[in-house]
Structure 1
Amino acid sequence: MKLLNAALFLILGPTLMPALDTLSTSILTGCAALAWQLLSPHSWLKCHFLKCCNMKDTLNIPVLKRDLDQKVFGQHLAIQIVLKVLSANIQSERPRKPLVMSFHGWTGTGKSFISSIIAENLYQLSTPRRMFVHHFSTILHFPHLSHVHLYKEQLQNWIRGNVSTCPRSLFIFSEMDQMPHGLIDSIMPFLGYHGEVDGVYYGKAIFLFLNNAGGDKITEIALDHWRRMKRREDIPLKTLQSLLSEEIFTNRNSGLFQSQLIQKNVIDYFIPFLPLEYKHVTQCVRQELRTQGHPEDEDFIAEIAMAMTDYPSEERLYSTKGCKTVATKVSLGI
């Protein structure tokens, strides 16, 4: 209140004290503008210097689409869903519930990469992006099974506190397949159609779960599709999503085993990441060569891609590591 009174005084000062000279009036007017910017909850100046949350949605869907199309290979289904649901979510002034997406697939297929692209595009300023995008690594943050009750309390407090500060917060949970059973259910109250929980509105928050579990099922379906001489692009999305939710719910190594999040249908989308084929690995190698400033040697590209496509042993159609080790192989020239 004192700050507000001071700001009003600075704003009204020039009209109340006509005796002030021109220089003094200009100084006071400038101070008033500065004070007003610092007091305003959504001011660009406060966001820049005081690291406040940028309340205005800044996700540019066309730019996000360009980044995904140019940088992510072999994941037309994932890109399609992510763009569609984020576009709908951003356009809603007050979503009824947080957006919750669960990414599933083999390692190296792009789950973490797409998450990082979303994070990079969610905020215009680098500082808010660092402060309001929260990444939880199961191995790092929840390593001890005996501490699950403590983790539950800490996780609830962390989410509640950060959403209170910034409604448009992004929470990324990686290595979900190693998440202690029951831990993720502790955030169930924040993910439903509640509007507000204890005075905190969660509808603009975004939750991403990254999970290797389900990867074998996705690969099985993709391989069967290929053996029946059908196009990868024609794999039915609804079938994959339905099978995924069942697989994850009954898989003890999914982190969502018999989870309330699935029982209560608060996970909005189970997003499949298809196994990468030889042509996709070549695209990864080519992109990495450009990134590291190397010439695009076609023989070198083919050599790496051929060595990495190793499943099944007969057809050698898919890479079990996706593009996970491409950067290292390019760096070492192997």
Structure 2
Amino acid sequence: MRWAAPGASAMQLALVLPLLLAVGGPLRLGAALEPISVGIAIGAASALTGYLSSPRFYCAFVECCPQEQDRPNATALKLSLDEKLFGQHLAKEVILKAITGFVNNPNPKKPLTLSLHGWAGTGKNFVSQIVAENIHRAGLKSKYVHLFLATLHFPHDHQVQLYKDQLQKWIRGNVTACARSVFIFDEMDKLHPGLIDAIKPFLDYYEQIDGISYRRAIFIFLSNAGGDLITKVTLDFWKSGRAREEIQLKDLEPVLSIGVFNNKNSGLWHSSLIDRNLIDYFVPFLPLEYKHVKMCIRAEIKSRGNSVDESVVQKVADEMTFFPKDVRIYSDKGCKTVQTKVDFF
């Protein structure tokens, strides 16, 4: 006897058939079947087939674009930031509030746009990775998370117009596929001036553009530009005897926005994104102190499944270089070389 629910796939039938056998007993060629047993079996099979074809079942095995009810966990986001990001009280506060507020807003007026600034090794890439993992389970490996590297994807000056066209098509196509797409632009300070303005329409307060809404997408810019300005403010606080935790966003955000707007090597030089106030937050990453570098070293050792040996932590930290030379407060590479130095020891 052959039986299959209308529209049932081979995988669904393979899962349903054992249920039929369990309910109705063994199926024998030419055997008479009791109507009640068959009815129960078919009803159970139909219910199971309906479950198997539901989006929730399908998305347990294949990555799907998050729906309205699939909201990121603010507690998990905070925990990740606490465990992986050191010495960045401002960045933690801004990122947590910005992401949580945005994803819980039923009707955002524009995409969320974050511009992360600071020297290398201060945690910008960590934060973009954490945000990606919080929005999409596969993180940076998700087909809905898109990472652009200036020197890799946009290397040639004479092809800027081509890059602009390609970038617009890429964003349009991927937001069409998933409204909650995440776009990360790394090495913004190496991006050709004017190129990033190509995405200005997608960041603006439009309800739709050609029938597509971009209001649930997230755009993140990573840049070393402004690192010197951030360091100067941080050092001034130290010289005046004030703790770095006293630094507030208002002490740095205006300086950053003006600084990168007037910096030809920022990727945002005279950008309409700043001129039109389309960047929601300029997030400063402060230079890391000796104690923060030691936190990075401990985290790296733990990530390898090893117990922390404080003598090794001390040796690795002493191999790092700090500035200003006379007082040696801040690491000039942040935690950038911690991994290789742990390898050495």
TM-score by length of 2: 0.85
Pick one of 136, 144, 153 that aligns with 2:156: 144
Structure 1 position 21 matched with structure 2 position 34: no
Pick one of 9, 34, 49 that aligns with 1:31: 49
Do 1:51 and 1:128's aligned partners in 2 also have CA atoms closer than 8 Å? Answer: no
**Superposition map of 1:210-249 within 5 A:** 210-249=222-261
1:80-115 CA-partner distances (Å, limit 9, x unpaired): 000111111111112110000000000000000011
SS at match of 1:276: coil
Instruction: Report the alpha carbon displacement of residue 24 of structure 1 after superposing the two structures with TM.
Output: 4.0
In 2 relative to 1, CA 146–59 (structure 1 residues): closer, same or farther, beyond 3 Å?
Answer: same
SS at match of 1:102: strand
- Write the distance in 2 (CA, Å) between the matches of 1:167 and 1:27: 35
Instruction: Report the alpha carbon displacement of residue 289 of structure 1 after superposing the two structures with TM.
Output: 1.4
- Write the distance in 2 (CA, Å) between the matches of 1:34 and 1:160: 32
**Superposition map of 1:38-57 within 5 A:** 43-55=55-67, 56-57=69-70
Structure 1 position 264 matched with structure 2 position 282: no
> For residue 113 of structure 2, what is the aligned residue in structure 1?
100
> For residue 174 of structure 2, what is the aligned residue in structure 1?
162
- Write the distance in 2 (CA, Å) between the matches of 1:127 and 1:244: 28
Instruction: Report the alpha carbon displacement of residue 310 of structure 1 after superposing the two structures with TM.
Output: 1.5
Do 1:163 and 1:205's aligned partners in 2 also have CA atoms closer than 8 Å? Answer: yes
Instruction: Report the alpha carbon displacement of residue 122 of structure 1 after superposing the two structures with TM.
Output: 1.3
> For residue 121 of structure 1, what is the aligned residue in structure 2?
134
> For residue 101 of structure 2, what is the aligned residue in structure 1?
88
In 2 relative to 1, CA 30–70 (structure 1 residues): closer, same or farther, beyond 3 Å?
Answer: closer
- Write the distance in 1 (CA, Å) between the matches of 2:174 and 2:124: 24
- What letter corresponds to residue 96 of structure 1 in structure 2? K
- What letter corresponds to residue 287 of structure 1 in structure 2? A
- What letter corresponds to residue 284 of structure 1 in structure 2? C
Q: Percent identity?
A: 48
> For residue 253 of structure 1, what is the aligned residue in structure 2?
265
- Write the distance in 1 (CA, Å) between the matches of 2:141 and 2:301: 28
1:56-92 CA-partner distances (Å, limit 9, x unpaired): 3331001110111121100000000001111111111
Instruction: Report the alpha carbon displacement of residue 34 of structure 1 after superposing the two structures with TM.
Output: 3.8
SS at match of 2:283: strand
In terms of fraction of residues, the more helix-rich structure is 1
Instruction: Report the alpha carbon displacement of residue 313 of structure 1 after superposing the two structures with TM.
Output: 1.2
Instruction: Report the alpha carbon displacement of residue 236 of structure 1 after superposing the two structures with TM.
Output: 2.9
In 2 relative to 1, CA 31–237 (structure 1 residues): closer, same or farther, beyond 3 Å?
Answer: closer
Rg comparison, structure with higher value = 2
- Write the distance in 2 (CA, Å) between the matches of 1:47 and 1:28: 20
- Write the distance in 2 (CA, Å) between the matches of 1:303 and 1:86: 38
- Write the distance in 2 (CA, Å) between the matches of 1:309 and 1:73: 18
Gaps of 5+ in 1: 8-17, 38-42
In 2 relative to 1, CA 63–19 (structure 1 residues): closer, same or farther, beyond 3 Å?
Answer: closer
Structure 1 position 58 matched with structure 2 position 71: yes
TM-score by length of 1: 0.88
Instruction: Report the alpha carbon displacement of residue 52 of structure 1 after superposing the two structures with TM.
Output: 3.0
- Write the distance in 2 (CA, Å) between the matches of 1:77 and 1:50: 36
Number of positions where the alignment pairs a residue of Structure 1 with one of Structure 2: 312
> For residue 110 of structure 1, what is the aligned residue in structure 2?
123
- Write the distance in 1 (CA, Å) between the matches of 2:200 and 2:300: 39
> For residue 280 of structure 1, what is the aligned residue in structure 2?
292
Deviates more, 1:242-251 or 1:25-34: 25-34
**Superposition map of 1:293-308 within 5 A:** 293-308=305-320
- Write the distance in 2 (CA, Å) between the matches of 1:281 and 1:301: 9
Deviates more, 1:293-302 or 1:148-157: 293-302
